[in-house]
Amino acid sequence: MDERLFQAAVDGFRAHFGYDPALLVRAPGRVNLLGEHTDYNEGFVLPVAVDRAAWVAASPRPDSTVRLVALDMGTEATFPLDPIPPRQGDWADYPRGVAWALAGAGFSLAGMDAVLTSDVPIGAGLSSSAAVEVAFAWTWKELSGLPLERTELALLCQRAENEYVGVRCGIMDQMASVWGRAGHALLLDCRTLAVETVPIPPGVAIVVADTLVRRELAASEYNRRRQECEEAVQILADYIPGTRALRDVSLEDLDRFGGHLPPTLLRRARHVVRSNIRVLWAVAAFRAGDLAAVGKAMKYSHLSLRDDYQVSSPELDTLAEAAWEVPGCWGARLTGAGFGGCIVALVAEEAVPELARHLEEVYQARFGRRPTVTVCRASDGAQSVKRAT
């Protein structure tokens, strides 16, 4: 547990509301090792909940008002629960959207005073939005006594982002935030929502290097990629009975029927189909202790995201290629939606200093600034940290 953020949330709540919070909730961000852009295609992903998290300190109110303070931004928001206002285009759309989704599912919500703080960087591909959504959903679950299990909570958070905020994300980010387990990656089947834990061997570090390029294109291009995948499915369904998502298309199917797709749609489909195979290959390799095979899958994934899905950038390519050059780094790739944000590298713990030095040196030489390099640990998912006695 991050004692610094814990204390910041408590102190911030006292400073703004003048009394102690009844509850503290922590919900982690995530880094995805493999399976980028497969989640909304009902495929497989391999995320890790990380030790960067959103924290909410809260207490219930006797009325239906929600008063929120974002400590890191120094801004406040107040809104009623009856009715919940429409999207405003600000940070509070995430908690408002969560309230909207919970209310739409028939749950009665308590008003609350709450403060938010987070060390999940915004726009870096570590899913800061899902961490905030899950943190607030978990807070309402506790304060309102809602009978929500983890997967249902994740689905409602996804609905909030899809239908209220307006970003058509898949389910991976929210599921990783609720189901994370320390020392493990998560194999998530995005069709069945089955989750399997995959142990990360001792001596393995997960290094995240941030390009510091924020993803201005990510939302619009993300929605475009999703639409392109749906268009590919519509065409392939005429030739492959029972196809409802690219999850249902095999490499053999693509070889046989891919010629019916326009070139751009073929590239998108090829990335997704091969990425699903890479995830399952990497899970088997993790369980066999074959980290070289996991790293190879990560490298192929980056090349596919660069060439077939076309969501990389010069900054991401530079960091990934620099990481591949370091002895002890098994693999590296962009992580997140793309167009900026971070790469993730799988590296031997003893090689971390050399990896960080090399990434900083190469990036500085090309772009005139240093990336932010962070060693992440696999973390537990959403949890209540403190309750009133």
3-state SS assignment for residue 370:
coil
| Alpha-carbon span 214 to 7, nearest angstrom | 29
List the catalytic residue out of 173, 210, 248, 308. Answer: 173
| Alpha-carbon span 40 to 278, nearest angstrom | 17
- Count other Cβ atoms within 10 Å, centred on residue 220: 11
What is the tally of helices (H) and strands (E) in the chain? 11, 12
CA dihedral for 38, 42, 45, 47, sign (positive or negative): positive
Residue 91's DSSP bridge partners are none
CA angle, 150 then 80 then 99, to 5°:
15
**Any residues with CB less than 8 A from the CB of 234 and at least 6 apart, and which?**
none
Q: Which two tokens stand for residue 177?
A: 């935030």
| Alpha-carbon span 170 to 38, nearest angstrom | 8
User: Is the distance from CB of 106 to CB of 26 less than 8 angstroms?
Assistant: no
Residue 173 designated active-site: yes
Closest by CA position to 122, among listed 344, 341, 371: 341
3-state SS assignment for residue 23:
strand
Closest by CA position to 363, among listed 136, 223, 211, 260: 211
- Count other Cβ atoms within 10 Å, centred on residue 252: 9
**Any residues with CB less than 8 A from the CB of 220 and at least 6 apart, and which?**
none
CA dihedral for 76, 81, 82, 84, sign (positive or negative): positive
Positions marked catalytic: 173
